[in-house]
Structure 1
Amino acid sequence: MMIITTLFKNFNKKSAGAASLLLCFVLIIASLTRRPTDDRSWCVYKADPESSSYSPLSQINTENVANVTHAWTLPLKDMKSGARAGTSECNPIVVDGVMYLTSAKHWVYAVDAANGKQIWSFDPFNGAEGGGVSRGVTYWEDGDDKRILVTGGDLLFALDTRTGKPIPSFGNDGRVSMNVGLRDAPETISVIPTSPGIVFQDLIIMGAEVSELYGAQPGYIRAYHCKTGKLVWTFHTIPLPGEPGYETWPKDAYKYAGGVNDWAGMSLDIRRGMVFLALGSPSYDFYGADRKGKNLYGNSVVALDAATGRYIWHYQIVHHDLWDYDLPAPPNLVTIERQGKKWTR
């Protein structure tokens, strides 16, 4: 597959108007186009593992789109009185006729996509004030074991799709702290994933949003087992001594440099077992005297073995970034057909 990625922040991390509009549009389409063969046509964030953002549904087309009308509204009641308003960047998924989404306050909802009736909701903050950017959830199944994997704050939850309750056998009573396993002590840092992880076999591969200031954590990519919550592998986006790319930083940069994180999401080539990252800039974003060099893997597309996290290749779009030119979207994996021949590299 060929890879297409976006360089500049056409969709800013903190802006959500377009995403809110997309949510409304998806709600309408999902309710009007439910057919048995289509119930899993959008079961992954951005449509599919390749991040195509394309739906093959044809019931709504250029001839009848003008006739689309409002079908249903889901009232959200997770905003506390006097609380600061939030914005939604969620891209809902639909699995077997059920829509799963997150609100501006980061609650998780399961909704009948045909009529908008709420099936369950889950508060990841257990009554405390929620919020922060959330672009959706991840679905995983193994036979009758069906789970929604979602983050709230630094916690990764595994929820039963039938009840919305955390699954006790996952991590610590249904949750895993993603503060654990980074460079510094878990109780002194805060890592907040924003885009959903991506599933490969029994692994959920996660990026995160970290601070862009001095003292930021490195944006390590990590894979957790979907059943147990166990950390399976870690890829150091700021290389440690002896790892490829270490020579592109000052010798002690891995001890203090931060950022180089994947906040935008990932894409996956299931057949080849490869996951593709879209990484942001090193921190501090606008000053680089303490990080001389190209600073791999900042502002890079990186390909990893999805089962092990082993480095395969990278392409750095901006060397030694001083302008915060994060890669703002997952790479699109596409197959190009030219003169009857398909190009798959």
Structure 2
Amino acid sequence: MNENKKQSATCRILVILLGVLVMLFGLALLVGGIRLVQLGGSVYFLLMGAASLLAGVLVAARRPAGALVYGVAFVATAVWAVADAGLEFWPLVSRLVMPAVLALLVALAWPALRRARGVPAGRGAYGVAALLLVGLLATAVSAFQPRPVVTAQGQRPAVVPVAKGSEQRDWMHWGNTTGGTRFAALDQITPDNVDQLQVAWTAHTGDVPQSDGFGAEDQVTPLQIGQTLYVCTPHNQVIAMDVDSGKQRWSFDPKATAPNWQRCRGLGYFDASLPIAGVPTVAAAVAAPAPAPPAPALAAAPPAPALCEKRILMTSIDARLFALDAATGAACPDFGVNGVVDLKVGMGEIKPGFYTLTAAPLVAGELVIVGGRVADNIEVGEPSGVVRAYNVRSGALAWVWDLSKETPDVPLDPSIHYTRATPNVWTSMAYDPQLGLVYLPTGNTTPDQWAGERTPQDDKYSSAVVALDVATGKERWVYQTVHHDLWDYDLPAQPTLTDVPDGKGGTLPALLQITKAGQVFMLNRATGQPITEVRDIQAPQGHADGERYSPTQRLSVGLPQIGAQTLTESDMWGATPIDQMLCRIQFKGFRYDGMFTPPGEDLALQWPGSLGGMNWGSASVDPTTGYLFVNDMRLGLWTKLIPRAQMTTGAGGVEMGAASQTGTPYGSLRDRFLSKLGIPCQKPPFGTLSAINLATHQLVWQVPVGTVKDTGPMGIKMRLPIPIGMPTLGGSLATQSGLLFFAGTQDYYLRAYDSRSGKEVWKARMPVGSQGTPITYVSPTTGRQYVVISAGGARQSPDRGDYVIAYALPAAH
């Protein structure tokens, strides 16, 4: 008897606790729902909140009606969820899982509620509970299954074997070619055997990047020439390694320092023994036979190469340009002053951290061409965005492009400084040796969100692709992607040069430019004219005092736009309905008129955000299939202009948070559009890989990339490989065997995809995440094909390392 009383008391307490839980759920939805309705949003949350609050009160009072009220509310929720979100998995999870868990508990409490009223319990509720449990378990299992956004349809292109003797020999440039293809004509590793890849060797650089996101980051793409691999570290140390073992051959430390933004994305390479003229085009490079290796010496060993006949070029975070002997790491004495050119010359005052170089220098024939990163949003009058070309042998200045001048290609008197605060080229450039053109993807004049003081020259060259004659630096053409850019939609990626079908049986020389705004522009790289349709749209106008606004903006509608849809309230997401509701409240509280919503003194939503869309990792292309591969991140921002009188003095301006914008009428405030749990407020995926057919201009496939295994709400690792798709940062590598390698996710994996279908066919766990781009090569000694990646830590991860990891198929015995 006493035992039965104890069980009854326990059951009563549990029912009351359940009622309180449902009440709290309902109260949160009711309070938030009222606010959402006031903002003109969905009435669902108010109604569900009221119903849940009533149900919770009744359940706590041990009245069966409470279960009935909640049951009806749950059924209505399911109907609303499908009407609001369709049949997409992750949006339905956000809307239904938490209510379903509560429904399951209420169903289990039904017999106790009936008994409390002296009514027979009945068994039907257990059947309902069982159905809900099965549904929840099925949802949990389904959450681990990959879901393509776009599935490849129809017949896949056939794999074109690499012709004997035309295999790629070296990875000589940041993008493999000066055209930024990130494509390797190698096929030893294939979709059929990639699952046999294993770690061949691991090396350590000794430079572990400790960062909060704006300090040191490992983002390098290595170079490989012959038997040597070259990497640079966040603090500009250069290390040469054996390609088969990772064993260090030499290292060079320039003792470079900068207060922030320490990173080295890549190196340049020059070989004086190679012919400069007649370099094959990007397309021809696939089929053109490589030169035969020299015959082995039969008698005396050949003489040692001259010092610096082959040289490594590097720009540094403290604005220097180095030339190093590729064989020894010694500074080249004939270059600049003891192997160094001071890039601060002609720049005027440079405050610490205001001018850094992080992109790989472009080696174009006998020139090495450099731009530079200028600090964003701190003040007007920051250092110049000048682009300079130096003789790769002597370091002598060949030409400058100071774009504020009427003739920007005329070198200035040494006593005159380059024009301050002009648009810059902070990312990597491309070069077409047959056309003799260098392509500059430009940024915009700082600050990003106020442009009232920009000059006509600033407005002409900001966020544009500019083609210069490589010999003289004279402008050939310019194509702007964003007019009067107020969103930091500068061009972050190296242009990709390839040839595309002209629809008449021939080809056109194309330049593919991806943007932070999720656009892919296809231009004729000889003329700068669009090959695919670009539409001028009417742009929303702002009201900031003293600002001007472009009446139109450009959208590249002839190619797929990646993650650039106009958001609606129904696109809001969250781990729970409460989280989702709070994101809806944020969304409805913003001023939002689509992609080009201008900043103002109120809160404005920017989507895509200034991080992307696509970023510096750039695209890759497979010329044998005509597929372009891009990866993106989907992170919106909210922005606000702060009148100068209200601006806190001393505010910085790196990327997020308060920015001083000193010298303008406004400071600014911006941050990522995240939920209270630190999750992006819009529905997943938050990052994808996409393949675009350059002949049909259609999206072939698109897949989420990355899991929440090494991240999660409020920075807590979920440790679950749920493939929701995470923001990406880094580049991809395409191979002629039909593989696409990628590592720039928030989890710690290098992955391989079938490039024709988007199916993940292999992944390898790394000690930490990576922001680098993988490369591949075949060892000239062993004949093994390696895939190499630098792993220093994912962007938002506290886990850091200094790894360079090589993967290969098992060695033949």
TM bucket (normalised to shorter chain) is 0.7 to 0.9
2:273 is the counterpart of 1:108? no
Residues 139, 148 of structure 1: 8 Å contact kept: yes
Q: 1:303 maps to which residue?
A: 467
Q: 2:342 maps to which residue?
A: 177
1:120 pairs, out of 234, 250, 255, with 250
Q: 2:222 maps to which residue?
A: 92
Extract structure 1 runs of 4+ deviating beyond 6 A: 82-85, 126-131, 186-189
Q: 1:83 to 1:205 in 2, by over 3 A?
A: closer
Distance in 1, matches of 2:199 and 2:340, equals: 37
Aligned-partner residue type, residue 169 of structure 2: R
Tell me which protein shows more helix as a share of its residues. Answer: 2
Unaligned stretches of 5+ residues in structure 1: 1-34, 245-253
Aligned-partner residue type, residue 332 of structure 2: I
**Cα shift at 1:42:** 1.5
Aligned-partner residue type, residue 386 of structure 2: Y
Question: What is the 5 A alignment of 1:135-284?
Answer: 135-143=265-273, 144=305, 145-152=309-316, 153-182=318-347, 184-185=348-349, 191-212=355-376, 213-214=378-379, 215-237=381-403, 239-240=404-405, 242-243=406-407, 256=420, 258-284=421-447
Question: What is the 5 A alignment of 1:27-38?
Answer: none
Distance in 1, matches of 2:169 and 2:346, equals: 34
Q: 1:129 to 1:262 in 2, by over 3 A?
A: closer
The DSSP-based 3-state class of the residue aligned with 2:321 is: strand
Aligned-partner residue type, residue 206 of structure 1: V
Q: 1:316 maps to which residue?
A: 480
Aligned-partner residue type, residue 175 of structure 2: K
Distance in 2, matches of 1:96 and 1:275, equals: 27
Q: 2:126 maps to which residue?
A: none
Residues 349, 383 of structure 2: 8 Å contact kept: no
**Cα shift at 1:126:** 7.0
Aligned-partner residue type, residue 367 of structure 2: L
Percent identity of the aligned residues?
34
1:288 pairs, out of 410, 426, 451, with 451
Distance in 2, matches of 1:159 and 1:191, equals: 23
Question: What is the 5 A alignment of 1:15-54?
Answer: 40-54=169-183
Distance in 2, matches of 1:155 and 1:197, equals: 11
Distance in 2, matches of 1:173 and 1:165, equals: 10
Q: 1:126 to 1:179 in 2, by over 3 A?
A: closer
Aligned-partner residue type, residue 272 of structure 1: L
Q: 1:168 to 1:129 in 2, by over 3 A?
A: farther
Residues 148, 160 of structure 1: 8 Å contact kept: yes
Unaligned stretches of 5+ residues in structure 2: 1-163, 274-304, 409-417, 510-523, 525-813
**Cα shift at 1:168:** 1.6
Q: 1:260 to 1:117 in 2, by over 3 A?
A: same
Aligned-partner residue type, residue 428 of structure 2: G
Structure 2 length as normaliser, TM-score?
Answer: 0.35
Q: 1:225 to 1:190 in 2, by over 3 A?
A: farther
Distance in 1, matches of 2:312 and 2:384, equals: 27
The more displaced of 197-206 and 37-46 is 37-46
Aligned-partner residue type, residue 77 of structure 1: G
Residues 274, 306 of structure 1: 8 Å contact kept: yes
Distance in 2, matches of 1:120 and 1:342, equals: 45
Work out which structure has the larger RCO, using CA pairs closer than 8 Å and 6 or more positions apart in sequence. 1
The DSSP-based 3-state class of the residue aligned with 1:171 is: coil
Q: 1:111 to 1:90 in 2, by over 3 A?
A: same
**Cα shift at 1:36:** 9.3
**Cα shift at 1:280:** 0.7
Residues 292, 320 of structure 1: 8 Å contact kept: no
Aligned-partner residue type, residue 208 of structure 1: G
Aligned-partner residue type, residue 231 of structure 1: L
Structure 1 length as normaliser, TM-score?
Answer: 0.79
Distance in 1, matches of 2:351 and 2:233, equals: 27
Aligned-partner residue type, residue 291 of structure 1: R
**Cα shift at 1:186:** 6.5
